[in-house]
Copies of this chain bind each other. A is one copy, B any other.
Amino acid sequence: MKYARVDVDGRAHWARATAPDTLELLSASPLESPAPSVTGELPVTGARWLPPVIPPVFYAVGFNYPRHIAEHGAATPARPEIGYRANNALTGHGSPIVKPADVTGRFEAEPELVAVIGRRMRHASYDEARAGVFGWTIGNDVSARTWQHEDRTFWRAKNSDTFKPMGPWIETAVDALAQTTTLSVNGEIRARFPTGDMVFDPYDYIVAMSRRLTLHPGDVLWMGAESTCRLAPGDTVAVEISGIGVLSNPVQEEAPQEGQQP
């Protein structure tokens, strides 16, 4: 099943895609209610997609694909060590990625598989971790490299508004580690890699994390990228993961602010 969140008349609604062209609106979050009722229908065309979940905690893996690590001359992580992103940066499928006017240097896409947590987990076993993932979505970990290298934290390099597109929906029925991730810009393929070619898989992370912390329904775990590519205003960037869907976003230049230096 594909679960999404859409904006209807300025309000967020949970929905599910039961046919290719129709979304059924739901009475409640499928993460909180096992059998939400259907309250209406919406055509897929023209839907305003929201991030499919607003996580209590937004977890993100750094280096996790061997080819990516080798290209950067980085050390292969010896243990699953998690990082964070920030909810303010989330945006939905189809919404613009806004490139700040004063970003210089490489402005890049990172196509990522995202696990959505479905159960409260502490001290989870590997099998409990597998059972505790509700479903899978797609993330684009947009990054301004000059800021990433200049700053002590990732606050503006990776967490400026609109830098974290996620969606279009959560797919609950897919073998997520046996899929192919494809990154395209303006319809041209820039990268393609197997989702499962990871140093540590999502369940390894959940086992390690849950020794120290409680995972909650709706938490998300972004799994890192093997390849990246540059973005420029006017581009449309698409991240496709087979069996899940396509997350596509136009790139826009930020409008100048009143009174702000150029």
Interface residues, chain A, CB within 8 Å of chain B? Answer: 54, 56-57, 62, 81-84, 86-89, 100, 122-123, 151-153, 155-156, 159-161, 209, 211-216, 257, 260
Contact = CB atoms under 8 A, between A and B. Distances in A.
A84 B84 contact: yes
B62 A86 contact: no
Contacts of A153: 81-84
Contact of A213 (B56, B89, B214): B89
A257 to B, nearest CB: 6
A57 B86 contact: yes
Copies in the complex: 2
Given A123-B257, A214-B161, A155 B209 contact: yes
A61 to B, nearest CB: 10
B82 A213 contact: no
Contact of A212 (B54, B161, B213): B161
Given A57-B87, A83-B153, 9 more contacts: A62-B152, A81-B152, A81-B153, A88-B213, A88-B214, A123-B260, A155-B213, A161-B213, A161-B214
Chain A, interface SS category: loop
Contact of A151 (B81, B88, B216): B81
A177 B212 CA distance: 34
A11 to B, nearest CB: 15
Contacts of A160: 212-213
A56 B89 CA distance: 11
A112 B163 CA distance: 30
Contacts of A216: 88
A122 B260 CA distance: 13
Given A56-B87, A88-B57, A100 B155 contact: no
Nearest to A123: B257
7 contacts: A54-B56, A83-B153, A83-B155, A122-B161, A123-B260, A159-B213, A211-B257
A215 to B, nearest CB: 8
Contacts of A257: 123, 211
Which 9 pairs, one residue from A and one from B, show the smallest C-beta to C-beta distance? A160-B212, A156-B212, A83-B153, A88-B213, A82-B155, A57-B86, A84-B84, A161-B213, A56-B87
